[in-house]
């Protein structure tokens, strides 16, 4: 506990205005009572009462180097002395140019151009528009390709376009009347930690996508997928080989491959890009979240030269798309500093050490009666709770996260799953503290359940 710098009246005022005025994302406001964070120190958040929380969710998978990192703070402060904003429409800035060059140097070789946006959904929106327009003006025979082939349970953001390609019942079903039609294949449920049958599982799903492509390839502008792991779908890990297989199908059926690395990219998956695991060269790649270390909103859509060149010509071939803050120099400065840190952590083996520690901890949880599944890709882990029957236990993960908060660990549930997505900068001791707390709380909740007869299994 740290001393608070707020009086009781100030705290009461902040809580009441927050509840009554701020409409919080993905939150039922009728009974809202969230934390109010005053500041961050390294991997910790400190609320207005002075209580400290380990930010084990990296402030929604973004703050890969924690909070108030001196190098990122300095990069932003230095840039602020020069200029805060320069439009990307017909203008540029050295920091933004340096970032574009850096991204192309780091990204899969197929990618040569960078379109800057503001958040994950806008990066996916522009990826889809680029793919659609590409076919209209590429080569000698322009083609009308207005469908996207997407994965079951996909999540790519909350704008109408990204909701159309999404498939998470709870988030997307209501908006169906507003959405354009898409082709949807199965969700490739697999595992990274338990991959005994993975080849057969990958092949089964690839066969289903082959059938869809055989029938519809000429209508499909692009296959859009989150590679290796569908995070918001409830941490669905794909069987190894599925991504590579999908990339090969895209080549065989001459359609584009868009990969959404907004959650898994930027070092989060244990490599800079998830595509590296299966040596995949996508046509378009979207990044966001950890790009600026969670400091400022910025995302980017990277494309191949072939795609970029289809937009060269007269005014009618222009990509008429843009976001006011795309390429913002403050965000670019944060991103350059972040990527330098991430790269050096990848090179020094720090991320792989932490990943191995997380693997051991997750394996240790596996034997607990209330734990149905653990899995991991780099610094993206999951603990799924429940017994043999799913339904009565749906709120377990929520209860566990509420109890964890009392212990000073912040994690956010996703259905029955608890994603474990801590900062890449988490220390050995902090990661141990996280899992010690998680083990203790799961045990306690299971015992309370047993005592009340509700959770016994
Ligand atoms: C895979 C993926 N794509 C897109 C998005 C949307 O990003 P944003 O919330 O920044 O719009 C998310 C957000 O969680 C995501 O996980």
Parallel, antiparallel, or unpaired: how do β-strands 37-41 and 44-47 relate? antiparallel
Any residues with CB less than 8 A from the CB of 303 and at least 6 apart, and which? 111, 112, 113, 115, 130, 283, 284
Look at the domain 71-346 and name its fold: 3.40.640
* Ligand 1 pocket member 232 (CB < 6 A): yes
Which whole number is the average pLDDT over 169-188? 94
CB-ligand 1 contact for 161 (6 Å cutoff): no
Task: Establish whether residue 156 lines the binding site of ligand 1, counting it when its CB lies within 6 angstroms of any ligand atom.
Answer: yes
Choosing from 60, 116, 163, 289 the residue with most ligand 1 atoms within 8 A of its CB, the one to mutate for a pocket test is 289
Residue 300 is predicted with a pLDDT of 98
> How far is Cα of residue 301 from the mean position of the Cα atoms in its chain?
14
- Summarised one tens digit per residue, pLDDT across range 132-159 is 999 999 876 777 899 999 999 999 999 9
- Give the least confident one: 283-287, 365-369, 406-410: 365-369
How large a percentage of the chain has pLDDT more than 90? 89
Residue ranges per structural domain of the chain: 8-68+349-452, 71-346
Ligand 1 in reach of 260 Cβ (< 6 A) = yes
The pLDDT value given to residue 442: 95
Cβ–ligand 1 contact at 40 (below 6 Å): no
> What pLDDT is recorded for position 408?
97
- Ligand 1 centroid to 224 CA: how many Å? 14
How do residues 28-86 score in pLDDT, each as one tens digit? 999 999 999 999 999 999 999 999 999 999 999 999 999 999 999 999 999 999 999 99
pLDDT of residue 197: 80
Predicted confidence (pLDDT) at residue 451 exceeds the cutoff of 90:
no
Domain boundaries 8-68+349-452, CATH class = alpha beta
Q: Would you tell me how many other CB atoms lie within 10 Å of the CB of residue 190?
A: 22
- The full DSSP string for 6-44 is S-HHHHHHHHHHHHHH---TT--GGG-----EEEEEBTE
pLDDT of residue 196 exceeding 80 = no
| Average pLDDT estimate for 271-275 | 98
Mean pLDDT of 197-211: 94
Give me the pLDDT at residue 456, please: 37
pLDDT at 369 over 60: yes
Q: How far is CA 448 from the centre of its chain?
A: 34
For the chain, give the mean pLDDT.
Answer: 94
pLDDT at 394: 57
pLDDT in tens, 213-264: 999 999 999 999 999 999 999 999 999 999 999 999 999 999 999 999 999 9
The pLDDT assigned to 452 comes to: 54
Angle at 139 between CA 136 and CA 142, to 5 degrees: 30
């Amino acid at each position: 506990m740290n001393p608070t710098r707020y009086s009781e009246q100030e705290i009461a005022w902040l809580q009441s205005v927050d509840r009554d005025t701020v409409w919080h994302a993905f939150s039922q406001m009728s009974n809202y009572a969230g934390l109010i964070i005053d500041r961050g120190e390294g991997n910790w958040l400190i609320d207005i009462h002075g209580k400290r929380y380990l930010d084990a969710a990296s402030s929604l998978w973004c703050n890969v180097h924690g909070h108030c990192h001196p190098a990122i703070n300095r990069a932003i402060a230095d840039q602020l002395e020069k200029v805060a904003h320069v439009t990307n429409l017909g203008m540029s800035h050295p920091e933004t140019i340096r970032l574009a060059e850096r991204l192309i140097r780091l990204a899969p070789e197929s990618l040569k151009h960078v379109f800057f946006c503001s958040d994950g959904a806008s990066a996916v929106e522009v990826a889809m528009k680029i793919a659609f327009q590409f076919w209209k003006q590429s080569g000698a025979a322009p083609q009308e390709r207005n469908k996207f082939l997407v994965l079951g349970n996909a999540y790519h953001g909350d704008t109408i376009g990204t909701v159309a390609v999404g498939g998470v019942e709870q988030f997307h079903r209501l908006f169906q009347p507003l959405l354009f039609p898409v082709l949807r294949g199965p969700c490739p449920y697999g595992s990274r930690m338990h991959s005994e049958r993975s080849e057969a599982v990958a092949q089964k799903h690839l066969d289903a996508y082959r059938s869809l492509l055989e029938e519809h390839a000429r209508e499909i502008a692009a296959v859009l997928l989150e590679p290796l792991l569908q995070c918001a779908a409830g941490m669905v890990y794909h069987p190894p080989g599925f991504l590579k297989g999908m990339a090969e199908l895209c080549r065989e059926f001459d359609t584009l491959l868009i990969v959404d690395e907004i959650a898994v990219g930027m070092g989060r998956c244990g490599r800079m890009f998830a595509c590296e695991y299966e040596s995949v060269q996508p046509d378009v790649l979207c990044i966001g979240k950890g790009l600026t270390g969670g400091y400022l909103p910025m995302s980017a859509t990277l494309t191949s030269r072939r795609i970029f060149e289809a937009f060269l010509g007269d005014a009618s071939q222009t990509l008429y798309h843009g976001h006011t803050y795309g390429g913002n120099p403050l965000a670019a400065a944060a991103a350059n500093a972040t990527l330098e840190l991430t790269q050096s952590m990848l090179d020094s083996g720090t991320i792989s050490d932490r990943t191995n520690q997380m693997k051991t901890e997750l394996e240790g949880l596996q034997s607990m009666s209330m734990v149905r599944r653990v899995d991991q890709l780099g610094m993206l882990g999951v603990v799924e709770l429940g017994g043999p029957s799913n339904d009565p236990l749906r709120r377990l993960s929520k209860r566990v996260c509420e109890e964890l908060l009392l212990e000073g660990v912040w994690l956010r549930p996703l259905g029955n799953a608890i994603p474990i997505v801590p900062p890449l900068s988490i220390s050995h001791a902090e990661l141990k503290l996280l899992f010690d707390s998680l083990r203790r709380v799961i045990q306690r909740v299971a015992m309370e359940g047993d005592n009340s007869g509700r959770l016994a299994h």
